[in-house]
Each structure stands twice: as structure tokens, then as C-alpha cells.
Amino acid sequence: MTDTAPRLSLAERDRRHRLVAQRMGEAGIEILVLPASTARWEQTMADSRYLTSIGGFGTESLAIFAPGHGATAYVFNRAGYWKHAQDWVADVRDGRNRWADNVRERLGEIGFSTGRIGISGLGGLTRSPDGIVPHRTVARLAASFPNAELVDATGLMAQIRAVKSDEEIAVIERATAIAEAMAARVLALKPGATERTAYAAMIETLLLEGGELPAMLLLGSGPGLDHGSFVAGTRPLEAGDLIVGEIEGRYLGYSGQIVRPAVLGRATPDYREVFDVVRAVFDDVLAALKSGASLMGVVRIYEDAVARHGKGRCQTAFPLMHARGLGDEVPLVLSAEELAEAGDTELQKGMAFVLKPRVRRDAIGVQVGDMVVVGDGGGRRLGRAPLSILEVPWA
């Protein structure tokens, strides 16, 4: 079998396994069950992939981790491929989505009958607050292990994944470079193209640059837009249209998201003025992303920067930033309500975000975004392309 899948190092695997085992011990958890879920572009399978490296292209993989026994991965089928395509987990089995049976089988092999089973995904995910684990799975596990306690391990895994290692940050940089290559494809658009033409070119670039599917791609076109849509349209693009949205490169499961507005032709002076404001705001907020800073403090700097650079004529708008990485990370600031809940959260060195301030002035809204990482003295951009308006030559 051809070995074609890119890999993280075994040292990174060992670091993760040690850290997760330590946190499990602190929480009194003997067994960790990490669900198979390809929802939200596989963001909800981040925990399983974090410990096994198995995922991508729709692969469903349940992970069971027991310190002292290592990790076992149950994929839906075609386990043979994953036994050769990665070197993190030797025990890879066909599971056929019989997840409760899979857990019961593995725990029976290691002689587990009493203690705590931590299940990630029971609830409280940032984009799936009601959880992603089927009720039937939980009920069957409870019946199979009457002397065990089932506990929610969602928060445990979210906090572990929130701080990225140097190797993870390098992977996010690679994903961001892929996103930048995808965005550059709009510069080759010609009259007669549609949103679907742009979408297809970007997905082709994602794959040719070594990325993987699924990857989130939101595109919108037309006059006066400031955000894209989930479904690409078929309307022919016209001179003066804006092409806006969120472009995600994806590499080894990690997301590198950028926001780059494009215009077919030349940007108007008013649009360029607002863009210059949001670009200056980006720099001010980036400098504020220091270890120890609070989310609320960062948002205050955002608000002050918009007022200062916009000379009192511009308004802020959510979202400002949210954590990105292998899945739907924490923390995030997508709304005023979420800010109220998470505003006291302290940033830590190694947290990665897509920073994407949006600024409005009258009817004009502009957003620009890039992947950034928190540092001791401020944030660092992970992208390398200029944060500028992409002006597409248009006859």
C-alpha cells in the first residue's frame, strides 16, 4: 500500500499522550472515549484526531485512550489504509460505527469494569452546545458498565488543545499558506465566471497544495457585501462586484483561515478608506494579543482602535476573533453574549486565533483576517501575503 499521508512526529504524539494522561489522572478518569464525528467540516472530531492523527476526507474515527494501554482507533471501515498511512497508532480496527460495541470490546480486553469513563463531546462544544454523542451510545455504555461512572471530558480536551505546540503552529502556518494560495486564484478570474468558478479554483488549489477536505469555504459576490455564504451561486460576476468570505486551508486537520476582500476592477475610494481603518485596527489588536491579557481587554483595545482610526465615523462589529486549530477551539469571541461569558479568560502563549476585525461606516462594511498566535510580547501573524484588497483585472 502506498504511504501518502503527511505526518506529525512521534515526539508530538508522545507529548500529547503524556499530557492527556496527566490531565486524566488529575480528573480521576481511567478511560477516555473520543467520538467519531465529521460534523462542521470534521471540526467535531478534533479530540479523536488529536490522539491518533487519523482523519480527513470524511474518515470517521473513534478513539479510546487508556494510559498504560495506549490508544485504539476504530474507523468506519478500511482500517488497513490507516494502519499504514500513519505511525501513531498500531491498533486500528474496522468499527462500522458500532461505537458502544467498540468501546465495550476494547475495555473488555484490558479488563476495565469499574472507575471513571470520560466521554468528550457530551455537551458544551463551542458550535455544538448540545453535544455530538448519540444518546443511544451513552445509554448502552451505561448499561454495559454499571459499576463505572460516565463523565463529560469535553472541557478537559478543549483546554488541552487550546495551547498549541511549536509543531502544531508550524502546521497551522502551512494551512494558512494554502489558504493564501487559494485566495490568489481570484486574480485569474475572467468575465463569464461565477461564484462557483471561484469556488472550484480554490478547492483545486487546496488539493494541489497538499491540503485536505473537508475545508470551510464561504464566498459571496455582489456590490456592498461584507460576508460570504455557505452555498456558491451561479450568477455571472460583474465589474465592480466584491468577492468576500472566509477561506480555509486545511493541512493535517488543522485550519488556516483568512479573510481577503477582492474587487472586480478597482476598489472605490470610500471602500479603500474603510479598508485602511480595519487594516490599522488589525495591527493594534495583534499587538495586544499578549500572554496574560484578557479577552475583554483585547476587545476594549479593538473598540478604541476603531474609534481612533475611524475618527469617530466607524463602528465595530462581531466577530472579532475565535480560536482555530484542529477543531472548534476555545476561547472565542463571536458575539457580545459570548464575550460576557468568556471575557475574563486569560490568553496563553501558543493559543492560535483567526483575527478578523470587521468595521462599518455607513453602508460599507469591511473585514480582513489572518491566523495569529499569542506570544509573550504580542501576537504574530502566521500568514505571509500582504493584508490588502485583491483587485482583479476586469474588462
Percent of the chain with pLDDT strictly greater than 70: 99
Looking at the predicted structure, is the pLDDT value of residue 335 above 80? no
Looking at the predicted structure, is the pLDDT value of residue 90 above 50? yes
Phi, psi of 386 (to 5 degrees): -60, 145
pLDDT digits (tens, 9 = 90+) for 163-208: 999 999 999 999 999 999 999 999 999 999 999 999 999 999 999 9
Matching CATH number, 166-392, of 3.30.420.130, 3.40.190.10, 2.60.450.10, 3.90.230.10: 3.90.230.10
pLDDT digits (tens, 9 = 90+) for 226-251: 889 999 999 999 999 999 999 999 99
Looking at the predicted structure, is the pLDDT value of residue 4 above 60? no
Angle at CA of residue 185, ends 182 and 187, nearest 5°:
140
Q: What pLDDT, on a 0 to 100 scale, did the predictor assign at position 1?
A: 37
* CA dihedral of 22, 18, 167, 370, whole degrees rounded to 10: -30
The mean of the pLDDT values for the chain is 94
pTM reported for the whole predicted model: 0.95
Looking at the predicted structure, is the pLDDT value of residue 2 above 60? no
Matching CATH number, 10-162, of 3.40.605.10, 3.40.350.10, 3.40.50.10320, 3.40.50.2000: 3.40.350.10
Nine cell digits for residue 282: 488589525
* Cross-strand pairs, 355: 321, 370
pLDDT digits (tens, 9 = 90+) for 112-150: 999 999 999 999 888 888 999 999 999 999 999 999 999
Q: What mean pLDDT comes out for the span 73-88?
A: 95
CA nearest to 161, candidates 23, 29, 59 = 23
Show contacts of 72-81: CB within 8 Å, 24+ apart. 72/106, 73/48, 74/36, 74/99, 74/102, 74/106, 75/36, 76/36, 80/1, 81/1
Looking at the predicted structure, is the pLDDT value of residue 211 above 90? yes
Q: Transcribe 141-168 into DSSP letters.
A: HHHH-TTEEEEE-HHHHHHHHHBPPHHH
**Helical (H) or strand (E) element with 287:** helix 269-288
At 38, is the secondary structure helix, strand, or coil?
A: coil
- What is the C-alpha R_g of the chain? 22
pLDDT digits (tens, 9 = 90+) for 353-375: 999 999 999 999 999 999 999 99
Domain boundaries, the chain: 10-162, 166-392
How far apart, in Å, do the first and last CA atoms of the chain sit?
Answer: 50
Measured CA to CA, the distance from residue 340 to residue 301 in angstroms comes to 16
Looking at the predicted structure, is the pLDDT value of residue 3 above 60? no
Q: What mean pLDDT comes out for the span 52-80?
A: 96
CA nearest to 373, candidates 176, 160, 127 = 176
